[in-house]
C-alpha cells in the first residue's frame, strides 16, 4: 500500500467511525423507541444517493469538565444538502445518540453554515430537532450558538422556506428556532417542546402534568398552535415534509412549481349547486367545496387541529399552487376569533412572501362574542387579519358562498382590502348583520307598538331578507365582480387566476410596517 492509498484508507476509516454515530448501544436504544437515527432521517428525506454531507469531521473545542477527553462524532449534528424530488434542499439533523445531540459552539456553527449556504443558494432549509438541549459544559458558548441560529432564522424568514421537524426532545431555548420557522412538524408520542419540563413546573407551581400533555404533538397542534402537523412516526413526518415542499417555491423570487395534470383543467362541479342547505340553520362542510374545485380533489392542510373554525390549506388549480383560507360552518358557525385570526394571518403572510396566490372562501356570521375574547385581545388579533390581507400583493381571489356579515365581511379579504376578483353565489348574504338582529334594531319601536309584535317582527325580518340578504346590492356597487352559478365556480377561479398571475403591485417604500402583534 503506497502513501496515497494509505491516506485514502485512513479517510475511509474515519468516515466509517463517524457513521457509527454514538455507537451501537446508543443507536439500538434509539431504534427501540421506534425512532430513526439522524442519518436515517436524512436518507429518507433526500432522493437516493443525492445527499452530500458537510463538516463531517468538525469537532468541539471544549476542555472544561474533562471534555478534552470526549469525542463526539460530527459534534452531534449531521449537515448537508441533496435533492428532494429532484429539487435542491439543505438540511441538518441532530444526532441524539452522540452526547444526546446537545448543542455547543461547533454544533451551532455547523447549523449556521448550512443556513447561510441555503440563503446563498436560494433553497429551503430543513431542521430535524432531537437534542438534550444546550451543552452545559460549554456555558455561554452554547447560548451564543442558539443566538446565532435565531438571528439567521429571522434573516431567512420570507426569503427561503424554513421547515422544522421536532423528532425528539426540544426544550428550553432550543424551542425558539423552530417557532421562528415557517412550519413545524411533530411526531406523536416521541417528540416534545416546552420551555420548562414537568418536573420544574411541579416544583414551582405544584401542577402535575406529563410530557405529552404539556408539550406533545397533539397539545401543540390543538392548544398552543405552535406546531402545524402531528405525524404518526418519523417516516410519516418526512413524507409530509416532502409533500409540503412540492407546493412551495425554492425562494421568494421563484414561482411555485406547476404540476402537470391529466384531468381536464376546466370542468363543472355539479355537486356545488346543492351544497348550501335549504335550512339556513344547518351547516355544511367547507371541505366539500374545496375538494370540488381543487385539482384531483386534493388539498394539504397545515394547522388542521388548531382553530378548526377556519381552514388554511394548499390546493392546486390548473397545476398552480394556491393558498386557501376558508371559514368552516361546521365549527362555531365559522366565526372568527383570536386563534382563527392568528392562524389565517400567518398563513396569508407566508403565501404572500412566497408568491402563492390566495383564495378566500367566506361564510362567516361575524367575530365570536364573549368576555374572554374581548379580554384576550380580539381587537388586536382581528386587526392582524385585516393587516395581512391589506399587506398582501399576490393575486387575491374571493368567493362568498353564504353569510358574510359585518366586520368579518371586511376581514375575509373583501374588495376593500384589495381583493382582485370577487365572486358570490346567489345564496350569498352580504350585510351588516343577520335579518333578525337588524329588524330588532331598525324596527324596534314598530315591533314594540304593534298589536302582534311577533307577526310584525316576522314581516320586518322578511323585508330585510329580501332587501339586503342577497349579493346583488354589493354587485350593484361593484364590490362583487360576478354572481356565479356554484357549479361553475372552478372555471371562474381558473380564469381569474390565469389573468391575475402576472399581477404587479408596488407599495410605498418603507423599512417595514408595525403589524399589531
User: Could you give the residue numbers annotated as active site?
Assistant: 172-173, 407-408
How far, in Å, CA of 30 to CA of 78, rounded? 16
How far, in Å, CA of 379 to CA of 411, rounded? 12
3-class DSSP assignment, residue 161: coil
Nearest by Cα to 471 from 387, 389, 414, 411: 414
What are the angstrom distances between the C-alpha of 226 and each of 64, 230, 235? Answer: 36, 11, 21
How far, in Å, CA of 154 to CA of 85, rounded? 27
How far, in Å, CA of 205 to CA of 221, rounded? 24
Phi, psi of 510, deg, nearest 5: -160, 165
What grid cell was written down for 251? 425562494
Cα dihedral 113/116/121/122 (nearest 10): 140
Nearest by Cα to 404 from 424, 432, 379, 430: 430
How far, in Å, CA of 270 to CA of 489, rounded? 10
C-alpha triplet 79, 174, 354: angle, nearest 5°: 65
- For residue 18, what is the enclosing H or E element? helix 3-19
How far, in Å, CA of 368 to CA of 375, rounded? 13
- Tally the C-alpha atoms within 13 A of residue 35's C-alpha that lie toward its C-beta: 26
How far, in Å, CA of 499 to CA of 15, rounded? 54
Instruction: Provide the H-helix boundaries in 354-513.
Output: 371-375, 378-391, 406-411, 435-442, 444-449, 453-468, 472-476, 489-500
Q: Are 102 and 129 in contact (CB under 8 A)?
A: no
What grid cell was written down for 228? 402545524
Q: Long-range contacts of range 471-478, CB-CB < 8 Å, 24 or more positions apart? A: 471/400, 471/424, 471/425, 471/426, 471/428, 471/429, 471/430, 473/430, 474/424, 474/430, 475/424, 478/415
Q: Are 252 and 160 in contact (CB under 8 A)?
A: yes
Residue with cell 418519523: 234
**Which residues touch 339 (CB under 8 Å, ≥6 apart)?**
225, 306, 307
How far, in Å, CA of 224 to CA of 207, rounded? 18
User: Whole-angstrom distance between the N-terminal and C-terminal Cα of the chain?
Assistant: 66
3-class DSSP assignment, residue 179: helix
How far, in Å, CA of 181 to CA of 165, rounded? 10
Amino acid at each position: 500500500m503506497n502513501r496515497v492509498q494509505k491516506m485514502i484508507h485512513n479517510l475511509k476509516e474515519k468516515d466509517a467511525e463517524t457513521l457509527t454515530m454514538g455507537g451501537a448501544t446508543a443507536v439500538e436504544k434509539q431504534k427501540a423507541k421506534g425512532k430513526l437515527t439522524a442519518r436515517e432521517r436524512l436518507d429518507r428525506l433526500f432522493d437516493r444517493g443525492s445527499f452530500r454531507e458537510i463538516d463531517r469531521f468538525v469537532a468541539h473545542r471544549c476542555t472544561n469538565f474533562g471534555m478534552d477527553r470526549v469525542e463526539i462524532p460530527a459534534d452531534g449534528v449531521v449537515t448537508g444538502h441533496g435533492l428532494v424530488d429532484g429539487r435542491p434542499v439543505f438540511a441538518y439533523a441532530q444526532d441524539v445518540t452522540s452526547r444526546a445531540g446537545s448543542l455547543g459552539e461547533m454544533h451551532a456553527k455547523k447549523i449556521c453554515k448550512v443556513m447561510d449556504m441555503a440563503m446563498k443558494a436560494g433553497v429551503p432549509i430543513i431542521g430535524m430537532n432531537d437534542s438534550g438541549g444546550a451543552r452545559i459544559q460549554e456555558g455561554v458558548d452554547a447560548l451564543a450558538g442558539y443566538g446565532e441560529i435565531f438571528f439567521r432564522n429571522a434573516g431567512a424568514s420570507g426569503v427561503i422556506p424554513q421547515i422544522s421537524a421536532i423528532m425528539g426532545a426540544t426544550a428550553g431555548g432550543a424551542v425558539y428556532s423552530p417557532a421562528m420557522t415557517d412550519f413545524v412538524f411533530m411526531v406523536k408520542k416521541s417528540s416534545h417542546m416546552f420551555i420548562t419540563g414537568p418536573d420544574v413546573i411541579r416544583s414551582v407551581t405544584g401542577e402535575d402534568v406529563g410530557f405529552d400533555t404539556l408539550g406533545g404533538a397533539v397539545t401543540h397542534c390543538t392548544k398552543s398552535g405552535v406546531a402545524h402537523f402531528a405525524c404518526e412516526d418519523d417516516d410519516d413526518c418526512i413524507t409530509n415534509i416532502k409533500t409540503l415542499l412540492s407546493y412551495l417555491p425554492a425562494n421568494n423570487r421563484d414561482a411555485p412549481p406547476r404540476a402537470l395534470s391529466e384531468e381536464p383543467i376546466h370542468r363543472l362541479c355539479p355537486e356545488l349547486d346543492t351544497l348550501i342547505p335549504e335550512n339556513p340553520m344547518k351547516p355544511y362542510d367547507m371541505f366539500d367545496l374545496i375538494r370540488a374545485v381543487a385539482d384531483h380533489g386534493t388539498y394539504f392542510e397545515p394547522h388542521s387541529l388548531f382553530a378548526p373554525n377556519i381552514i388554511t390549506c394548499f390546493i392546486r388549480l390548473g397545476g398552480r399552487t394556491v393558498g386557501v383560507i376558508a371559514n368552516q360552518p361546521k365549527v362555531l358557525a365559522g366565526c372568527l376569533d383570536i386563534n382563527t385570526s392568528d392562524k389565517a394571518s400567518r398563513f396569508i403572510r407566508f403565501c404572500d412572501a412566497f408568491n402563492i396566490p390566495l383564495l378566500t372562501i367566506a361564510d362567516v356570521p361575524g367575530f365570536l362574542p364573549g368576555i374572554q375574547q374581548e379580554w384576550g385581545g380580539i381587537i388586536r388579533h382581528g386587526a392582524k387579519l385585516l393587516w395581512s390581507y391589506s399587506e398582501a400583493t399576490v393575486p387575491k381571489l374571493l368567493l362568498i358562498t353564504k353569510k358574510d356579515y359585518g366586520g368579518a365581511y371586511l376581514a375575509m379579504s373583501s374588495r376593500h382590502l384589495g381583493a382582485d376578483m370577487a365572486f358570490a353565489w346567489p345564496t350569498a348574504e352580504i350585510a351588516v348583520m343577520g335579518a333578525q338582529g337588524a329588524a330588532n334594531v331598525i324596527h324596534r319601536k314598530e315591533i314594540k307598538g304593534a298589536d302582534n309584535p311577533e307577526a310584525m317582527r316576522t314581516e320586518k325580518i322578511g323585508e330585510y331578507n329580501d332587501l339586503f340578504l342577497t349579493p346583488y346590492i354589493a354587485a350593484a356597487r361593484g364590490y362583487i365582480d360576478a354572481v356565479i352559478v356554484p357549479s361553475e365556480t372552478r372555471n371562474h377561479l381558473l380564469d381569474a387566476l390565469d389573468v391575475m398571475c402576472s399581477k404587479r403591485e408596488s407599495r410605498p417604500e418603507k423599512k417595514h410596517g408595525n403589524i399589531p402583534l
